[in-house]
Structure 1
Amino acid sequence: MLTALLFDLDGTLTDTDTLHLQAFRQLLNEHDGRELTQAQFDAQVSGRANGQLFAELFAGASPEQCQALADRKEALFRSLSPALQPLPGLLRLLDYANTSGMGICVVTNAPRLNAQHMLGAMGLAERFQHVVVADELARPKPDPLPYLTGLQHLNAEAGQALAFEDSLPGIAAAHAAGIFTVGVATTQTPERLMAAGAGLVIDDFEAPALWALLAKRVEAS
């Protein structure tokens, strides 16, 4: 039975990586004149939680300094994203889930302020029953804990769910939680998403392969 859909946020509900890259570039330039290439961002930054990431980016900084830098970066991101567009087909999928009685949940490595901002900027703040923020848990993605927590919120088993992810840490987390994971190819190549554990890769939520999968899962239930 398919009873639950779990969604990453950045790069999955809306394509925000370009804005995050801009924010990181501005922060690094302000801090010590460093540059950040697209390739470095894709390989080292995209999809990761801020805790370990900022400790690596600013080696030698205290935890308090790293938190202040992370707060500055996220404030820059929010200033760059007053309005955001949902990925094509997302509203159709959310309507389908609602009509079918499926639970839906956001599972994100983003801070809660960002999650609230982004859902509001897309006009989706009222659409999600639960928002799981990895920073508020013991372990972020790529650990499966955020997705296991999302399943608990929805009273669903892994076999009853689909997860949607665009990043390699996110794919790894959902796959490790035992959830069939749909990779969204906004930030990574289909090949890398499949290698990380995606069972299907789509460009957006209008993909015929996604709707065929949904029909198959619902019919099987």
Structure 2
Amino acid sequence: MTISSGENSTCSLYQLAPVEAVLFDVDGTLCDTDPLHYYAFREMLQEIGFNSGIPIDEEFFIKNIAGKHNDDIASVLFPDDYERGVKFCDDKEAMFRRLAKEQLKPVNGLYKLKKWIEDRGLKRAAVTNAPRPNAEQMISTLGLSDFFHTVVLGSDCEHAKPFPDPYLKALEILNVSKDRTFVFEDSVSGIKAGVAAGMSVIGLTTGNPAHLLMEAKPAFLIKDYEDPKLWAALEELDRIGGVTKVAA
């Protein structure tokens, strides 16, 4: 994999030709949900007097919560009472779903990319650490229920992200090669999972600092799906015959 900050982004996708599939994380990748998760965690943790009642800041959220599975979050927030942590995370997810129902918005350019993928008949999967009710609500709200061929949850696997298991399971279900598939992710945990599964990962800076994401070794970073770096890479794939358009 070519690792770059974006200047040579097209090169990092050359080796994937012909592309067979595209995999997506959900939170922060299909929709910018980190602000909603952050708000829910901050408010609910303050209510129970976590950290002596001092609200958590974004740095704490990014380091300890963003992109992680709730089992891991529970262990971090409540190291001496895991069961309480699990219950807290369940309650927090219910609050998140209430917020998301009214405030969820797609990442800029998502539907443009969706059309590019559909026009070329590529297989696609959503691969997420989110609980099933969250994942289903977000995908449905965004109008993507019929877009994805499968949805793989971290809880479906022996290990959630940052382990590669969820991405390896998606490859198996879609019956595609890791050498013909690329991934969109927005968290360090997710990028590490995709890279560990042997795939090229395009990182989105929707919620996490670029310097942290680069430490996880994505192929390159984009701001959103309107980013010229992304479309330069996709157009180059088209030019070299890296994807095959299906008949209209």
Residue of structure 2 in register with 1:117 after alignment: 137
Structure 1 runs of 4+ with >3 Å offset:
none
* Structure with max Cα Rg: 2
Q: Which runs of 5+ in 1 are unaligned?
A: none
Identity of matched residues, %: 37
* Matched residue SS, 2:127: strand
Q: What's 1:155 paired with?
A: 175
| Number of the residue aligned with 1:28 | 45
Sort the Cα spacing of 1:62 and 1:42 in 2 relative to 1 into closer, same or farther, 3 A: closer
1:1-221 to 2 correspondences below 5 Å: 1-33=18-50, 34=53, 35-63=55-83, 65-83=84-102, 84-218=104-238, 219-221=240-242
TM-score, normalisation: structure 1: 0.94
Structure 2: give runs of 5+ residues left out of the alignment: 1-17, 243-248
Which is worse superposed, 167-176 or 27-36? Answer: 27-36
- What is the identity, as a one-letter code, of the residue corresponding to 2:23? L
Partner Cα distance (1:49, 1:201) in 2: 23
Deviations 1:44-75 (A, max 9, x none): 11000010211220122143x33221110100
Q: Offset at 1:31?
A: 2.4
State the alpha-carbon separation in 1 of the partners of residues 79 and 196 from structure 2.
Answer: 30
CA–CA separation in structure 2 for the residues paired with 1:158 and 1:214: 18
Give the CA deviation at 1:157.
0.8
Which amino acid in the other structure matches residue 87 of structure 2? Answer: A
CA RMSD of aligned residues (A): 1.4
CA distance in 2, matches of 1:142, 1:77: 22
Bigger relative contact order, structure 1 or 2 (CA pairs below 8 A, ≥6 apart): 2
Alignment: residue pair count: 220
CA distance in 1, matches of 2:48, 2:123: 43
TM-score (normalizing by structure 2): 0.84
**Partner Cα separation in structure 2 for residue 177 and residue 220 of structure 1:** 25
